[in-house]
Amino acid sequence: HVQLVQSGAEVKKPGASMKVSCKASGYTFSNYGISWVRQAPGQGLEWMGWISAYNGDTNYAQNLQGRVTMTTDTSTRTGYLELRSLTSDDTAVYYCARDDSGLSYFDSWGQGALVTVSS
Amino acid sequence: EIVLTQSPATLSLSPGERATLSCRASQRVATHLGWYQHKPGQAPRLLIYDASTRATGIPARFSGSGSGTDFTLTISSLEPEDFAIYYCQQRSNWPPTFGQGTKVEIK
């Protein structure tokens, strides 16, 4: 069955960078992409962007342009989310989700990774 | 971007009751709308896609309807495990967007 397993919780200082991983199994990795969605404490779900595991094409949310990079490693079936210049507003649970086009529904999700930004 | 407005913010009901959740889009999205269930400490779960199609393994008590700008998720008879937050999401126009959520809580 489809499974997405994410890296663990992290604590970061303001101004630092974070990198979360998402290892996929149970499907043909290159036939899909990965979207990243975050949820700040007490807030709703925010789509951050998408990367194609086929060719590396990306679409990022406009408010994160310049601070975010999404990558994939097809040899290990893993997606990565990097976010730079962190502030307390970036404290959130970060989810990866399988997404075939960057404008789709999210039928499988990782378990989430809590990133706390605090001095 | 398309804004999705969900109502009510909170729905207080008892097990066995019917839940009716609303999602209104700021622009027409045809039937390109999905619903998710989200419980604390868990990943969201896709319930409904294309406005009315149940995702794999979703019980028949969950149903979706609507098109254009107005959508409804109905839970016909609430089970104890259904108390959670529900989000709608559109995939009609980039970027994909979510509503702010409706919390279904035990009365």
Q: What is the pLDDT of residues A83-119, one digit of tens each?
A: 999 999 999 999 999 998 878 999 999 999 999 999 9
Contact B8, B20 (CB under 8 A): no
d(CA A94, CA A6): 9
Say which of B42, B91, B95 has its CB closest to residue A104. B91
- Asked if the Cβ–Cβ distance from B97 to A47 is below 8 Å, we say yes
- Per-residue pLDDT for chain B (107 aa), expressed as one digit of tens each? 999 999 999 999 999 999 999 999 999 999 999 999 999 999 999 999 999 999 999 999 999 999 999 999 999 999 999 999 999 999 999 999 999 999 999 99
Instruction: Name residues whose C-beta falls within 8 Å of residue B59's C-beta, 6 or more positions apart in sequence.
Output: none
Task: Please write down the HEC assignment for all residues of A21-55.
Answer: EEEEECCCHHHCEEEEEEECCCCCEEEEEEEECCC
Cβ of residue B103 closer than 8 Å to a chain A Cβ: no
Reduce the DSSP state of residue A90 to 3 states and report it: helix
Which CA distances in Å does B39 have to A84, A115, B44, B82? Answer: 29, 19, 7, 9
Intra-chain end-to-end CA distance of chain A, in Å: 40
**Residue B31: partners with Cβ closer than 8 Å, 6 or more residues away:** B50, B51, B52, B66, B67
Contacts of B101 in chain A (CB under 8 A): 44-45
Residue of B nearest to A5 (CA): B43
